[in-house]
Chain A
Amino acid sequence: MQHFLATFQNTAAAETPVAQPALLDFWTTVMMLGVLVGLTILLVIGQVLKRQPESNFDPAIIRNFNKRVITWLTICVLLVMSLLFNKIVTVVLFALISLWALREFITMTPTRRGDHGTLFWLIVGFTPFQYYMVAMNYYDLYTIVIPVYASLFIPGRIAFTGDHKRFLERSAKIQFGLLICVYALSHTPALLYLDLVYWDSEAQKHLPWTGKTAGLLFYFIVVVQVSDMLHFVWDRLAGKHIIAPAVNSTKTWEGVIGAACCTALFGMLIQFATPFTWYGAGFMALVISVMASSGSMTMSAIKRDRGVKDYGTLVQGHAGVLDRIDSVCFAAPIFFHATRFFLNAN
């Protein structure tokens, strides 16, 4: 692998420098193609099962399965397309997802007239600004603007409107929505801007990683997605001990643990697209899986509190973006910081 990359680099250096370095390399392409093919196969299986009038499977499970596969296929195709063009396109894509998720979250959360101005500035101000900083790679800023400045801005702005009813509750809800839908999610495209090293076992030291960060982003998305699916499968096949029936009646301890272990194995399998060692890739996948589970549990708790089952049915006909990205939101900052902590170049 090292040799392959070295030759790749040498030839690239020997020829005239390319103005726009490609975002993808060989291994990233292999992984993306593999995922797309895999998802298409799953889609075909799902459709075949749906057509079968008499099968051993519960039609509700098959419907749920198909819905997930189609969502993930859409996300992967969008992601591949945006990665093929430019980093900025990926950042914009995630900014739009964030805006939509925030919109769903605030729609579900009861706010009052006095919050109107605050919400306006979150949507036209903080959200675009956060993604702008990600695109400009201002790490020092985008990691603190929302947790510090926005959380001071929100209660301050609400206080100025003079509406003190349920003040703390309203500030906290808006703050939480912004933190999850915008801040946490923005760490996913931020992966593209990392400058990483990898552990070279022959040289016994860290060397600059010459792979593409697009591969890292794709690794993250694929691992979250596989973890979600494995969680679903483990719950259905081996689920006995429900974690919190009042919050979510389908999530079990077997699901969390089984998914985490299997996801770790899967992470090792696709280690080639990342700067991690094989055990590093497994550990990262384990962390991602655990965070993804906590993400969907948290969102279930919020939904139960608000008395809605899906964000999608909140306003009928909407796809429910928040339902799909809850696990990504929770895993993204942790994965980002873990990667940066262990393998940052500087």
Chain B
Amino acid sequence: MKQITVPFLVLLAKALSGATVRWVDCQPDICQRVYFANHTSHLDALVLWASLPKPIRARTRPVAAADYWRGGPVRRYMARAFNALLIDRKKIKIRNSPIDMMLREIGDTQSLIVFPEGGRNHTDQMKPFKSGLFYLAKKRPDLELVPVYIDNLNRVMPKGEFLPVPLLSCISIGAPIWLESGEGKNDFLKRAEAAVLKMKDH
């Protein structure tokens, strides 16, 4: 079943979003990465995941909000099909933090797609990044942190709508960054934001 529906969903996501994928200063690679992107639409995770080359897609897991993706059988099925890593946004505890769970789940083969803004954004300005990305980088300094800017997908399916309008969108994937030694949390998050915004104007 999954063999049929996944290619179909990938095709659908590509057709609806009309997404062009630009690899700017970055090449597709199966090494362990964290793709971090701006978040404006429910389609973000699916489209970004679908636009990765197949071998990379097979080992990349979008991190998504459990409260949305567990709501209803269709979403639950889709989350499973896309191999999503569901995070409960409401019950974040220090002991069993989502970061530890993500790192445990990916082991030393899989990559992640995260949206550090923490929720969908419907303004022109990007929201400040949450600290999760920093802790990911601190605990696993070997992970390549790849900035991604998703353009125009918010018009395909804005917040609060459930019918998509198939316009054209663009996904720009930039050069990876790493946590510098001694770099503070705020500085790092600022730098990560700037890396995503750089892809916007590129």
Contact = CB atoms under 8 A, between A and B. Distances in A.
Main secondary structure of the interface of B (DSSP, over half): loop
Contacts of A106: 165, 167
Interface in B97-149: 122
A249 to B, nearest CB: 26
Interface in A252-308: none
B168 interface: yes
Interface stretch (B72-80, B84-92, B155-163): B155-163
A123 B168 CA distance: 13
A67 to B, nearest CB: 18
15 contacts: A103-B166, A103-B168, A107-B18, A116-B161, A117-B161, A123-B165, A123-B166, A315-B18, A315-B170, A316-B22, A316-B170, A317-B22, A318-B18, A318-B20, A318-B168
B169 interface: yes
B20 A317 contact: yes
A315 B168 CA distance: 7
Contacts of B158: 113, 116
A107 B163 contact: no
Interface in A308-322: 314-318
A56 B94 CA distance: 72
A317 B170 CA distance: 10
B163 A103 contact: no
Task: Please provide the 7 A-B residue pairs with the shortest distance between their CB atoms, ordered closest to farther.
Answer: A317-B20, A107-B168, A315-B168, A119-B165, A107-B167, A315-B170, A120-B163
Contacts of B166: 103, 123
A142 to B, nearest CB: 23
B83 interface: no
Contacts of B22: 316-317
Contacts of B167: 103, 106-107, 119
Interface size grouping (class) on chain A? 10 to 19
A75 B183 CA distance: 56
A106 B169 CA distance: 11
Nearest to B169: A315
A104 B20 contact: no
Given A107-B152, A111-B155, A315 B165 contact: no
Nearest to B20: A317
Given A107-B167, A116-B158, A123-B166, A316 B20 contact: yes
Given A116-B158, A315-B20, A104 B163 contact: no
Contacts of A113: 122, 158
A172 to B, nearest CB: 18
Contact of B165 (A116, A316, A317, A318): A116
A316 B22 CA distance: 8
Interface in B144-202: 151-152, 155, 158, 161, 163-170
A120 B122 CA distance: 19
From B151, B161, B163, B168, residue with most partner A Cβ within 10 Å: B168
Contacts of B170: 315-316
B39 to A, nearest CB: 16
A111 B152 CA distance: 11
B60 to A, nearest CB: 21
B28 to A, nearest CB: 15
B160 to A, nearest CB: 8
Nearest to B152: A107
Of listed B161, B165, B170, residue having the most chain A CB within 10 A: B165
Given A103-B167, A116-B155, 19 more contacts: A103-B18, A104-B168, A106-B165, A107-B18, A107-B152, A107-B155, A107-B167, A111-B155, A113-B122, A113-B158, A116-B161, A116-B163, A117-B163, A119-B165, A123-B165, A315-B169, A316-B22, A316-B170, A318-B18
